[in-house]
Structure 1
Amino acid sequence: MYRFAYRLCGEPEAAKDLVQETFLNAYRGYDRFRGDAQVSTWLYTIASRACLRMRRRRKGAPERELSLEEFVPASDGEFRLQIPIDGLSPEEALHNKQLREALDAAINQLPKKYKMVLVLRDMEGLSAKEVGAIMGLNERAVKSRLHRARLFVRRQLSARGLGEASDHE
């Protein structure tokens, strides 16, 4: 839950507060939990709503920058964990750094509705159905937003010469 909260908030202290608020709200509202979804889905829903409330309270505060350094897009559009390999050449290390920076920038440019779907689905590993339950969307809408988010990220990377069309691969 902390990892999810940190990705939403971007600050360690805000993430801790969000996790605390999430579990406190879950405890207070447990009698209203119907069991229609998994407990984890219910908790993600509580966390995402609590995050929105925190943002509204902090209007004017800068939006968080997602740090997605460990994820890179694969050819099938999914994000894969990039495991650092010791002994990279300076050129490979530079390329990886540029790719991470470009990926961060691309994801940060996504509208919130697409960013949230991308984080929940590709990074948190939730199913489209679970993401839909959290965001109040049907599965088709989740898949549509996810597709648009991935296309946007791919285009941004390609525009910088770092995507699939890159000659570094």
Structure 2
Amino acid sequence: MASRKNSRPEIPDGRGVSPSTSAPFDQLYRDHVDVMYRFAYRLCGEAEAAKDLVQETFLNAYRAYDRFRGDAQVSTWLYAIASHACQRMRRKRKGEPERELSLTEFVPTSEGEFALQIPMEGLSPQEALENKELRQILDRAIAQLPRKYRMVLVLRDMEGLSAKEVGSILGLNERAIKSRLHRARLFVRKELSGKGLATEFHPDITTGHR
């Protein structure tokens, strides 16, 4: 994967456009750009594509800012814009259609819950190296997920949104969200197991939070 260093997208041109709030758009951008870039990188798996997605997200947000009423959190609103932009960008690209994930591909050992927790502080040099390698393996496993499953996994387990919030963003009911999440978790765990790692894991290893 390309490095994420020095990849922060630039703010769209313009300042505040909403008559209903005193917070200028550039402040909203500064407050949320790092979170949105992290989200975009996990969806795209590549720095330049993530930058493009973030630029598209904030451009669309800028255009719609005067209509944002605050019914949802700003971050949830931005996740929705980014998710829709990601889907549009994918449709513009040529290539094979996304494949479905079948449960017959998996060797489940439980219900797909994340359990393994790897501490982020107080690691020895060897432990830190192993932790970094595990992060890279997990990143690659997530990148192999079909995008619709990856979106659910990232929003729910990496960004910490509820199933209801994820459903609202993606236009799906909670049952569909839970089904996709279950399959995504099993797929990623299968990939980790194939690398000789524990078959259960926790998103803390990539985010540092639950």
TM-score normalised by the chain length of structure 2: 0.57
Q: Is 1:27 aligned to 2:62, yes or no? A: yes
- Relative to its length, the structure with more helix (as a share) is 1
**Where do residues 47-66 of structure 1 align in structure 2 (5 Å cutoff)?**
47-60=82-95
2:125 aligned partner, one-letter code: G
- The equivalent of 2:185 in structure 1 is 150
Is contact 1:5–1:47 with CA below 8 Å preserved after alignment? yes
**Where do residues 1-80 of structure 1 align in structure 2 (5 Å cutoff)?**
1-33=36-68, 35-60=70-95, 76-77=113-114
SS of residue in 1 equivalent to 2:125: coil
1:118 aligned partner, one-letter code: L
Is contact 2:42–2:139 with CA below 8 Å preserved after alignment? no
- The equivalent of 2:170 in structure 1 is 135
1:20 aligned partner, one-letter code: Q
- The equivalent of 1:83 in structure 2 is 120
Of stretches 134-143 and 28-37 in structure 1, the one that deviates more from structure 2 is 28-37
Q: In 2, Cα distance between the equivalents of 1:137 and 1:34?
A: 22
Q: In 2, Cα distance between the equivalents of 1:9 and 1:51?
A: 9
Q: Is 1:112 aligned to 2:147, yes or no? A: yes
Q: In 2, Cα distance between the equivalents of 1:118 and 1:109?
A: 12
SS of residue in 1 equivalent to 2:196: coil
- The equivalent of 2:108 in structure 1 is none
Cα root mean square deviation, aligned: 3.3
Q: In 1, Cα distance between the equivalents of 2:41 and 2:143?
A: 14
The unaligned stretches of length 5 or more in structure 1 are 64-74
- How far did residue 108 of structure 1 move? 3.1
TM-score normalised by the chain length of structure 1: 0.69
Higher relative contact order (CA 8 A, sep 6+): 2
Q: In 1, Cα distance between the equivalents of 2:131 and 2:75?
A: 37
- How far did residue 27 of structure 1 move? 2.4
- How far did residue 39 of structure 1 move? 2.5
Change (3 A) 1:105 1:87: closer
The unaligned stretches of length 5 or more in structure 2 are 1-35, 99-111, 201-210
Of stretches 80-89 and 145-154 in structure 1, the one that deviates more from structure 2 is 80-89
Is contact 1:79–1:122 with CA below 8 Å preserved after alignment? no
Change (3 A) 1:20 1:158: closer
1:1-53 CA-partner distances (Å, limit 9, x unpaired): 11112222333333233222212212222354454432321211111111222
Change (3 A) 1:102 1:10: closer
Of stretches 2-11 and 119-128 in structure 1, the one that deviates more from structure 2 is 2-11
Is contact 1:41–1:133 with CA below 8 Å preserved after alignment? no
